[in-house]
Amino acid sequence: MPSRLAPGIREKRPGYFEVRVYAGRDPATGRSRYATRTVRGTVKEANAVRAQLLTDVDRDGVVTTKHTVRELFDRVIDHLETLGRERTTIFGYRQIARSVPETIGRMPLAKLRAGDLDRYYSELVRSGLSAATVRRRHAFIRRSLAQGMRWDWVRENVADRASPPSEPRRRFEVQSADAVVALIEAAGESRMPELAVAFRLLASVGGRRGEVCGLQWPDIDLERGTCTIRRAVKQLPGQIFVGDVKSHQERTVLLDPDTIEVLRSHRRHQEELSALGGMRLVDPAFVLSDSPGGGEPWQPNRLTQALERLRDRSGYTGRLHDLRHWNASQLIEAGESAVVVAERLGHGDPATTHRWYAHMMPAADKRASIAIGKALTTRKKSGG
């Protein structure tokens, strides 16, 4: 195995190399062009990729690579993994890549057309997949082809001309306050009353289930009445781990007085249980934990399964995630802006909040119409 890298290769991190070769000048701009590849392997394999890349670049500087669609997907996913993308994201991308049929997967990139993708999307819809699911697959394919253009594997992103199915704006039934309270009360009367704390947190802070499971006591300031959401418990087949919150949107929200008292009581209960076992709460301890000292968090699926058990008893008809929607609906009905709601929910962009909850804003629209009418009436009187 050669011990030295050939010119144009740099080791970005152990076992990961970037190969770069000159591909002539752009006839339009006169600027130098380069063909690049990312290699995961040994020095020998990186040098071999460079040699092949030099062969693939013809005398006019055009890359004539014969990589297949599946090779692009695999290379892109490996590349994103080296960039530190979330494990759940990488897992989802690999699932999508594996689901692509061989008729497309084995196709040379140069032969892929928008029509091939449209036929694939139509087959997915006929198989029963939702428009949202098909659009997620389209997004991955489009992103992969965009990376392929940066690597000079393809000249254009044909996914830009494809037509994935339209996703209708989703409407959901907002649970009543009585139904949410009934669910929390039913949880408190169950064999595991700690579930009432979990459902209370989901409803009061509008967090996702993984975010609530990831809360630790240092995240909660009972004196100031604040809760900081900075991590989430995540699940993959056969593994549980703690990672960043979605879109890395760490946030701090104020808690209502009753929720603060519920948390005070829950902490005392946790401390008493730990003391019975001859232990103290670890630092930092998870708010929702069965382990002695609170060192291990609850699994998010546990909350979903508990809701299914309590559904008939409580009369709550929604999903677990609908507690988050209920939180947003209460804020909107109280007259809070989309910006405030977005900050509390952890949306990266208030436009996301507006897209999801625009149909819940009739009260705000009514206030706006009254304000406009009042201004026009005042102007008319002053003008007369």
Q: Taking Cα atoms as reference points, which of 257, 292, 273 lies closest to residue 193?
A: 273
- Which range, 13-27, 211-225, 345-359, has the best average confidence (pLDDT)? 211-225
Quickly count: other Cβ atoms within 10 Å of residue 97's Cβ.
20
Which range is least confidently modeled, 140-154, 297-311, 319-333, 340-354? 340-354
Tell me the percentage of the chain whose pLDDT exceeds 70.
88
pLDDT tens, 130-173? 999 999 999 999 999 999 988 878 888 999 999 999 987 666 67
Secondary structure in 3-state letters for 60-76: CCCECCCCEHHHHHHHH
Of 240, 297, 307, 246, whose CA–CA distance to 229 is shortest?
Answer: 246
364 has pLDDT over 70: no
Structural domains in the chain? Answer: 1-51 (no CATH), 65-168 (1.10.150.130), 177-362 (1.10.443.10)
Q: Which of 213-217, 241-245, 311-315, 374-378 has the highest mean pLDDT?
A: 213-217
Helix (H, G, I), strand (E, B) or coil at 86: coil
- What pLDDT score was predicted for residue 313? 86
Q: What are phi and psi of 216, to 5 degrees?
A: -120, 160
The pLDDT value recorded for residue 63 is 54
pLDDT band per the 50, 70, 90 thresholds, residue 1: very low
Question: What is the gyration radius of the CA atoms in the chain, in angstroms?
Answer: 27
Count of residues for the chain?
A: 384
At residue 347 the predicted structure's pLDDT band, cuts being 50, 70 and 90, is confident
Indicate whether this model's pTM tops 0.95. no
Q: What is the DSSP letter of 95?
A: H
| CA atoms of 49 and 70, how far apart (whole Å) | 18
**Are residues 211 and 232 in contact, defined by beta-carbon separation less than 8 angstroms?**
yes
Average pLDDT of the chain, as a whole number: 87
Q: What is the mean pLDDT of residues 243-272?
A: 92
Taking the C-alpha atoms of residue 34 and residue 173, their distance in angstroms, rounded to an integer, is: 53
pLDDT at 339: 82
Task: Examine the pLDDT at 381 and tell me if it is beyond 70.
Answer: no
Rounded Cα distance, 107 and 336, in Å: 51
How many other β-carbons are positioned within 10 Å of the β-carbon of residue 252? 15
